[in-house]
A and B are shown apart, each in its own frame.
Chain A
Amino acid sequence: MSTEVKEIKKTSEPLFSKKNRKLLSDPLNDSNPITVQVLGICSALAITVQVQQAVIMSLSVLFVMIGGNVIVSLLRNRIPDRIRIIVQLVIIAALVIIVNEVLKAFLPDISEKLSVFVGLIITNCIIMGRLEAFALGNKPGPSFLDAIGNAMGYAWILVAVAVVREIIGSGAISLPGMGQVKFIPSSWFIAEGGLYENNNLFILPPMALVVVGIIIWIQRSRNTKLIEEN
């Protein structure tokens, strides 16, 4: 990590210049990787049944994204053009393997639930897309910020979807380190004589898509310049 920090300091432009701040804020809304650029949906939706998994997944993506962006940006003048896609894939794959091994060693339960989806971070288009479009042509400092911005844009959608699905589907919220907190009293449930029942539909895969669709709807009705022609 220390070399990366030094690299950032070397850049002549102040790190938090207006242009660089935009790198951080844009992906959260105007160019959100999921809802606007349509990237990285594959691995996003299958693991949004619980908030906990979504958070861990987002952190993994953040790590891979920062690592990949900074490394590629540092090597950008050395990578041979002809094999640059393979080089990028190898760098990403190596980082993902590290994430996977660390998860297996320290968070075995979550690693089991995420199963193949950690591996699929490799083909998460956000990462490849940012490496191609940004890191290859920019200094490590801005690349670092770009990585954080995009990973955060990805993360908030993921966590938002997970919150909706877990509250309606399981009547609970789970946070890393706290386990699942059920906040709907059990006496409300039909089985106990109440009137409430968890909506199992929300745990099933298709509802993740519908929830994302609704998030897009809300986002675009507030930010009308994102509306598509047809």
Chain B
Amino acid sequence: MEYFSIFVKGIFVENMIFAYFLGMCSYLAVSKTVKTAVGLGFAVIFVLGITVPINYLLEEFVLKEGALTWIDPSYSTIDLSFLSFIMFIAVIASIVQLVEMIVEKFAPALYGALGIFLPLIAVNCSILGGALFMQERQYPTIGEATVFGLGSGVGWWLAIVAIAAIREKIRYSHVPAPLKGLGITFIITGLMGMAFMSFMGIEI
């Protein structure tokens, strides 16, 4: 039940785009057609699902104050949390690289679908955001952290696919010229965010 709650919360309540604006750059740049949006969305789910648990282990066993006690009890006062930003981003960048290579080798079809998006993802704020929220919220087990990563990824996927669908349709509408493209996308995202806020009170 705990897992389900974290998962649903990650998709609807704490949606990376609508509640925190994370990953907006690629969200706006790659949402012109549904097809590419779906591809990028899956890549985000994939990478979040892998990097959040890895960063969780890093946080639990290396970075946190007293995390190094598994090597020697006398290390209980060492606090490496100031290194967390740099470690997280290094993990993300190298995992993305690694995943790209593995996918290319063993799943060429998947690579064809996700390949061009993977390099973009290293600098997608939602991935680092996922790691930082994981650190801040201190999930008790790696299972919960993974589910949180996947849930946030699905939420991000949902957001980008939804906006891409709207943008495909809006091309045929009479939008004031200066608002065309970017402007109207911002405003629609704002309206969608308001709609998503109604999920806020749910308790699962």
Contacts and interface: CB of A to CB of B under 8 A. Distances in A.
Chains A and B in contact, CB within 8 Å: yes
Interface of A: 35, 38-46, 85-86, 89-90, 93-94, 96-97, 100-101, 115-116, 119-120, 122-125, 128, 204-210, 212-214, 216-221, 224, 227-230
A213 B179 contact: yes
Given A119-B85, A120-B129, A206-B197, 13 more contacts: A41-B28, A93-B90, A116-B132, A119-B84, A123-B128, A209-B193, A213-B187, A217-B178, A220-B178, A227-B180, A228-B180, A230-B180, A230-B181
Nearest to A42: B125
Given A116-B136, A216-B186, A97 B86 contact: yes
Given A42-B25, A120-B22, A123-B123, A93 B189 contact: no
Given A94-B86, A101-B82, A120-B129, A213 B183 contact: yes
Q: Which of B132, B183, B185 is most buried by chain A, counting CB atoms within 10 A of its CB?
A: B183
A116 B129 contact: yes
21 contacts: A42-B25, A42-B126, A85-B122, A89-B123, A93-B90, A123-B124, A123-B129, A204-B194, A205-B19, A205-B20, A206-B190, A206-B191, A206-B192, A207-B190, A208-B190, A209-B189, A209-B193, A214-B187, A217-B178, A224-B178, A227-B180
Describe A's contact surface by its main secondary structure: helix
Interface string B85-103: 1100110011000000000
A97 B86 CA distance: 8
A82 to B, nearest CB: 10
B165 interface: no
* Interface size band for B: 35 or more
Interface string B165-177: 0000001000011
B125 A123 contact: yes
Q: Which of A45, A85, A119 is most buried by chain B, counting CB atoms within 10 A of its CB?
A: A119
Given A120-B125, A217-B176, A93 B182 contact: no
B152 to A, nearest CB: 13
A212 B171 CA distance: 21
A206 B193 contact: yes
A43 B123 CA distance: 12
A212 B193 contact: no
Contacts of B192: 206
A120 B131 CA distance: 10
A89 B123 CA distance: 9
Interface in B16-43: 18-25, 28-29
Given A128-B123, A210-B190, A216 B90 contact: no
A187 B18 CA distance: 35
A201 to B, nearest CB: 8
A230 B187 CA distance: 16
B133 interface: yes
Given A96-B85, A115-B136, A119-B85, A209 B190 contact: yes
Contacts of B136: 115-116
A5 B21 CA distance: 37
Nearest to B28: A38
B184 interface: yes
Contact of B25 (A41, A90, A115, A216): A41
B123 A46 contact: no
A206 B191 CA distance: 7
A37 to B, nearest CB: 9
Contacts of B187: 209-210, 213-214
A7 B85 CA distance: 30
B83 interface: yes
A101 B81 CA distance: 11
A119 B132 contact: yes
Contact of B18 (A94, A100, A206): A206
Contact of B89 (A35, A89, A229): A89
Nearest to B182: A216
A224 B179 CA distance: 11
A86 to B, nearest CB: 5
